[in-house]
Amino acid sequence: MLGGVVFITGCFSYYQTSKAASLMADFKNFIPPQAFCKRGTADFKPIEAKTLVPGDIIRIQGGQNIPADVVLYRVNEMKVNNASLTGEAEELLRDEKVKVENILES
């Protein structure tokens, strides 16, 4: 009987671990492969999103996934959908005028 409980617990644990690994692999697909970036005085040009660095200015249009953590300095009724990260189904309005003390919560 104890062996059966251990076996069932092991199977359940394996299932949860494989499900979590699959979910983490799916998050890699959320990052778009390219971003429109402006560095220095150049115009916006498509670059690989994985090469973005602090100080880059990126342009995001409606329906696009955001390629990195960003600080907003100009928006026009921007709403973000964090359902895949937080489970919230409602889109959240973002405004460049709203400042949050903790940058990790912005």
Residue 64's SS3 state is coil
Label residue 10 by pLDDT band (50, 70, 90).
Answer: very high
Q: For the segment 60-92, what is each residue's pLDDT rounded down to a tens digit?
A: 887 788 887 777 778 888 887 777 777 778 887
Give the pTM. Answer: 0.58
Lowest mean pLDDT among 1-10, 48-57, 80-89: 80-89
Q: What is the mean pLDDT of the chain?
A: 81
Alpha helices in the chain (DSSP H): 2-27, 83-86
> Does 106 have pLDDT greater than 60?
no
**How crowded is residue 31: how many other Cβ atoms within 10 Å of its Cβ?**
13
What does the alpha-carbon distance between residue 14 and residue 1 come to, in Å, rounded to a whole number? 20
Q: Pick the closest to residue 35 from 50, 47, 51 (CA basis).
A: 47
Label residue 57 by pLDDT band (50, 70, 90).
Answer: confident
> Pairing relation of β-strands 57-59 and 45-48?
unpaired
Rg (alpha carbons) of the chain, rounded to whole number: 20
| 98 or 61, greater pLDDT | 61
| 52 or 103, greater pLDDT | 52
